[in-house]
Chain A
């Protein structure tokens, strides 16, 4: 029997009872509509979380020194120990293939900004490398960022956030102005693009960034490394001219120390090292590589704890995502139950339809329909019913989520995979719940069926 003929036949017979057909499909329409709406809202919230995290820097990973654990001293918070050095940062960039960009971070606080007769105490003062902006996904709105050369030469240049432009420069362009940080004067070379408040409400635009070398040498009175807890590291590259056959007499020098300049810095401590993985799926691998490298460089035996801690923005994203995924799945479950209820409705009506059309089934058998022709006819009928309901449900669900987007301003993301799944599920429901009535029809005895009134 030709599928096309059967299809036409089922549409015709469904069309004979339009009210009943519509009421029957209502269950499927609502079920599929709910699934589509849930999926779109779920996807939307996932996306908005992702974009929030991406604003912070998509796959940025932060390394902080561990806590002070020397015997006889009070145990202090993470970051208090002096374990990370600029050469650690350089080694990460050099030896970890999954790491994209990296930047040392030196933080300062308690310094006043002075411009003209105005002062301002910024909430953050960071000494960084230019790569920092790339890692944090931060753009320059005006002017430029400082260069690697300026980092190497401890230049007194800075980049400032829009809050400072507002507070000190009254929103006029600050490029080229002389800004004093404490008692050191800096040239403003760039303005950062506004980021707004971050997730915990801190103003991210209230920031001054300088080259990390400048911050280290001119602004912060840094803790010096000492024999017990600084990074007395082995050189990772044998050609280092200050190291004799792998024995480190002095703490290794980083590139900023070995450069030809007026005075050598022995300051090595960093507050953070920030780096990014080459791609989002390489984050775990990058974490692994960096952790192994730092343990080796810091000569930590297997039994020793890490003297640094790594924080990954992906963890945070996963946590937020898992919450929204849980909610979406929960609601999806409810929607699926309504689909099953709809399917039972379909089965019910198909059984009624089989009984009603017993005579027709008998006639069709008498003129040569085989059992499987009858089975197919009713199966196609219920599938067509469910598919029509599914398509209507997709339209309705999409409309509902658009409405929610418009009224409640929730983020909505349409999902083609959900549409495909909805079509498949509604066809599946049709076949599943249509099978029993169709099977019952195909097993009718033609004589009995013809006699049935």
Chain B
């Protein structure tokens, strides 16, 4: 990617990010000197075998984890060493998460699940406004009629739609999806991926973590990870092997 204009700050900029876990006597490096830039509106797939560090990278990108060293700029703001509250605010307002196992609150209606993040949003919305926004988000993902249902009463695809609606509730500029189709059959997977396509078309940056070539092919840019490093090439050899195993 070439940044020609100086006034546009990249959405995400990583500079020499390293992460290592300290296990017993050894430092186990998980990420090694990663530098990466993601612009607004990109559609990125983060690929790699398990243990390649892609999940750790996503946790750092999603402000859930801190790098051991290096700088992480989100919209020009350094977040790797920012306070916990500042990072929580970014997670709440700027980032939407979609997880493999949906992570919906059990025995809570779809609507309440969707508006849950609003409880941590500083602007004081009335309960009615919250519900309004929740219903709008559910309508966007096309399951408005399921607003009153509990997660247990929804299919996997519907649950993931609720999770996407929850990620969209604060209109974040970027959505992280960690294996969003891992628990879905191929037909619903396609439906969910089409939803991400739509969101990206609407200007939202989408970052997928996946080990499936099929899913990665929806993205416009693929970043491959191997042993904690970004490796060139669309499909690495070991990746294909893991696909074969599956």
Output the nearest chain A residue to B170 by Cβ-Cβ distance: A368
Which 7 A-B pairs have CB atoms at the shortest separation, nearest pair first? A368-B92, A367-B117, A370-B88, A368-B120, A368-B91, A5-B119, A369-B120
For the complex formed, measure the closest distance between the CB of B238 and the CB atoms of chain A, giving whole angstroms. 24
Interface stretch (choices A57-65, A197-205, A358-366): A358-366
Contact status B88-A365, CB under 8 Å: yes
Residues of A contacting B99 in the complex (Cβ-Cβ under 8 angstroms): 450
A113→B29 CA distance, assembly (Å): 114
26 contacts between A and B (CB under 8 A): A1-B120, A2-B119, A6-B119, A9-B119, A12-B108, A16-B107, A360-B105, A364-B120, A365-B64, A366-B91, A366-B103, A367-B92, A367-B120, A367-B166, A368-B91, A368-B92, A368-B120, A369-B88, A370-B85, A370-B88, A370-B89, A371-B85, A371-B88, A373-B119, A446-B64, A450-B103
Contact status A370-B84, CB under 8 Å: yes
Contact status B93-A368, CB under 8 Å: yes
A373→B119 CA distance, assembly (Å): 9
Kindly state whether residue A447 has any CB partner on chain B within 8 Å.
Answer: yes
B100-120 contacts to A (CB < 8 Å): 103, 105, 107-108, 116-117, 119-120
Residues of A contacting B93 in the complex (Cβ-Cβ under 8 angstroms): 368
Residues of A contacting B108 in the complex (Cβ-Cβ under 8 angstroms): 12
Residues of A contacting B84 in the complex (Cβ-Cβ under 8 angstroms): 370-371
A341-399 contacts to B (CB < 8 Å): 359-360, 363-371, 373
B47-97 contacts to A (CB < 8 Å): 59, 62, 64-65, 84-85, 88-89, 91-93, 97
Kindly state whether residue B153 has any CB partner on chain A within 8 Å.
Answer: no
A446→B108 CA distance, assembly (Å): 21
Contact status B124-A367, CB under 8 Å: no
A370→B121 CA distance, assembly (Å): 10
A6→B120 CA distance, assembly (Å): 10
A450→B99 CA distance, assembly (Å): 10
Output the nearest chain B residue to A6 by Cβ-Cβ distance: B119
For the complex formed, measure the closest distance between the CB of A41 and the CB atoms of chain B, giving whole angstroms. 44
For the complex formed, measure the closest distance between the CB of B96 and the CB atoms of chain A, giving whole angstroms. 8
Q: A364-B116, A368-B117, A370-B85 are in contact. List 4 more A-B contacts (CB 8 A).
A: A1-B120, A367-B120, A368-B89, A373-B119
Most buried by B among A16, A368, A447, A450: A368
A450→B91 CA distance, assembly (Å): 15
Output the nearest chain A residue to B118 by Cβ-Cβ distance: A5
A446→B87 CA distance, assembly (Å): 12
Output the nearest chain B residue to A8 by Cβ-Cβ distance: B127
Output the nearest chain B residue to A371 by Cβ-Cβ distance: B84
- A370 touching B120 in the complex, CB below 8 Å, given contacts A363-B105, A450-B99: yes
**Secondary structure at chain A's binding surface: helix, strand, loop or mixed?**
helix
Contact with B along A9-32 (1 / 0, CB 8 A): 100100010000000000000000
Output the nearest chain B residue to A360 by Cβ-Cβ distance: B105
Residues of B contacting A450 in the complex (Cβ-Cβ under 8 angstroms): 64, 99, 103
A360→B103 CA distance, assembly (Å): 8
Contact status B105-A368, CB under 8 Å: no
A430→B117 CA distance, assembly (Å): 26
A359→B93 CA distance, assembly (Å): 21
Contact status A447-B107, CB under 8 Å: no
A2→B127 CA distance, assembly (Å): 11
Contact status B124-A2, CB under 8 Å: yes
For the complex formed, measure the closest distance between the CB of B175 and the CB atoms of chain A, giving whole angstroms. 12
Residues of A contacting B92 in the complex (Cβ-Cβ under 8 angstroms): 367-369
Output the nearest chain A residue to B125 by Cβ-Cβ distance: A2
For the complex formed, measure the closest distance between the CB of A201 and the CB atoms of chain B, giving whole angstroms. 69
Residues of B contacting A364 in the complex (Cβ-Cβ under 8 angstroms): 116, 120
Residues of A contacting B65 in the complex (Cβ-Cβ under 8 angstroms): 447
For the complex formed, measure the closest distance between the CB of A7 and the CB atoms of chain B, giving whole angstroms. 11
Most buried by B among A359, A370, A373: A370
Contact with B along A248-284 (1 / 0, CB 8 A): 0000000000000000000000000000000000000
Output the nearest chain A residue to B97 by Cβ-Cβ distance: A366
Output the nearest chain B residue to A365 by Cβ-Cβ distance: B88
Residues of B contacting A363 in the complex (Cβ-Cβ under 8 angstroms): 103, 105
Most buried by A among B88, B93, B116: B88
A2→B124 CA distance, assembly (Å): 8
Q: Per a CB cutoff under 8 Å, which of B64, B121, B127 touches A366?
A: B64
Contact status A368-B121, CB under 8 Å: yes
Contact status B91-A367, CB under 8 Å: yes
Residues of B contacting A16 in the complex (Cβ-Cβ under 8 angstroms): 107
A366→B88 CA distance, assembly (Å): 8
A30→B62 CA distance, assembly (Å): 48
Residues of B contacting A5 in the complex (Cβ-Cβ under 8 angstroms): 119, 127
Output the nearest chain B residue to A362 by Cβ-Cβ distance: B103
